[in-house]
Amino acid sequence: MAAPSKVVVGSQVWLEDPEVVWIDGDVLEINGDNIKVKCSTGKEVVINASSVLAKDPEFPAGGVDDMTRLTYLHEPGVLQNLKSRYDADDIYTYTGNILIAVNPFKRLPDLYTKEIMTQYKGASFGELSPHPYAIAHAAYRQMVNERISQSILVSGESGAGKTESTKNLMQYLAFMGGRPSSEGRRSVEQQVLESNPVLEAFGNAKTLRNNNSSRFGKFVEIQFNDSGRISGAAIRTYLLERSRVCQVSDPERNYHCFYMLCAAPPGESENPKSTLKLGRLWMLLGINSEEQDAIFRVVAAILHLGNIEFGKGSEPDSSQPKDDKSNFHLTTAAELFECDRTALEDSFCTRVIVTRGESIKKCLDPTAATISRDAFAKIVYSKLFDWLVNKINNTIGQDSDSKFFIGVLDIYGFESFKTNRCLTGTL
């Protein structure tokens, strides 16, 4: 990242620009520590020589498929290479054995066909163009040859395409280690892939930079038997962004399932299953009709909780539902939760302090009651999400006798929010 060791007139350099981050130019004059640079936009600037970085005058027009081959491996050099390849729809680039993916924000179906998978199946790493299939193939071969479990980490900014890349990795592992459909029931890898829409409905949300942002971390463990065939799987989730259930910065949204439930057309509001478009998947993942009804009741109840407002109660520093509207939503939530209405109200408006030998009930003011309501909603939603994951895992089935596994970690993306929140509560 250092400046050129020797700047001479005619040198090509990179300098920082407030609009395009980095801009290239030619050195026109050198006056001590200062140099005059004519930028590619035509403007001329005088800048300290220590503030510029060298540009490779022989950089190929289409870039290079491995960053380690760049003459200058600094920020502008990396960005120039990624942009050159992106412009040619080459969205994947290596940096050694690391794969960098740039979201094309359009469909490139020819990149993910079975024919492409077949090509990577017989190729050494780096022999073909950079691709998630190459990463998955390298992990699979290393597992089989060295008899050691492997893991693949998928990380980056929100909207970078991590979840889609994870799906591509899973598809290739299923291609390599899956069993033929003629062997009977749906395979483990099919069930894992089929679980994605359900997890996305309850764990993804629209953010500033991504309309389908994963707000939880997911580690998919694909288990293999001694011959390298998939024998089981487990999905482990963690750090669900519970605070999103109650606090959303405009113009972001809450989790998809809330909006899908509210989208029920007239006449279907009493039977909202169809609105989530997950009817077939519910059954494939072992979630029966009774359990589906319970899921929808919980989601609807959480929506009603959000409409409960609290006002001052009859006692000092106490609270109660603010008006008839709040009482209606409290009653409805209690019915959906199938719990006692008074007990539910007490859980928001009072706090029980247990001391040695006795329990003391303390009233909460409206502000504290609202905080208690939000905490309750976050915990209930988190428990629902955990239940869904456990149900999916039980349906897929884990192989306690598996010899090895390949884990794929899809870590949630990072963003700079208007109001930054921790993953389990409000900062």
Catalytic residues: 158-159, 163, 210, 213-214, 413, 415
Question: Within 13 Å and on the Cβ side, how many CA atoms surround 403?
Answer: 13
The residue type found at 97 is N
User: Phi and psi of 396, rounded to 5°?
Assistant: -65, -50
Radius of gyration of the chain from its Cα atoms, rounded to whole angstroms: 28
156 known member of a binding site: yes
Q: Which residues contact 270 (CB under 8 A, 6 or more apart)?
A: none
212: tokens are: 């389908």
318 known member of a binding site: no
**Residue closest to 324 by CA, chosen among 309, 345, 302, 346:** 309
41 known member of a binding site: no
User: Phi and psi of 107, rounded to 5°?
Assistant: -80, 135
The residues with which 236 forms a beta bridge, in sequence order, are 219
The residue type found at 211 is N
395: tokens are: 């349906």
Q: Is beta strand 404-410 parallel, antiparallel or unpaired with respect to 150-154?
A: parallel
68: tokens are: 């380690």
Q: Which residues contact 5 (CB under 8 A, 6 or more apart)?
A: none
**Residue closest to 25 by CA, chosen among 47, 6, 5:** 47
163 known member of a binding site: yes
The residues with which 235 forms a beta bridge, in sequence order, are 220
**Residue closest to 211 by CA, chosen among 165, 171, 170, 161:** 161
**Residue closest to 150 by CA, chosen among 381, 408, 348:** 408
The residues with which 22 forms a beta bridge, in sequence order, are 16
* Spatial distance between the Cα atoms of 215 and 205, rounded to a whole number of angstroms: 7
| Matching residue, tokens 């066909």 | 113
* Spatial distance between the Cα atoms of 202 and 256, rounded to a whole number of angstroms: 6
| Matching residue, tokens 């920082």 | 16
- Annotated binding-site residue numbers for ATP: 156-163
Annotated binding site: 156-163
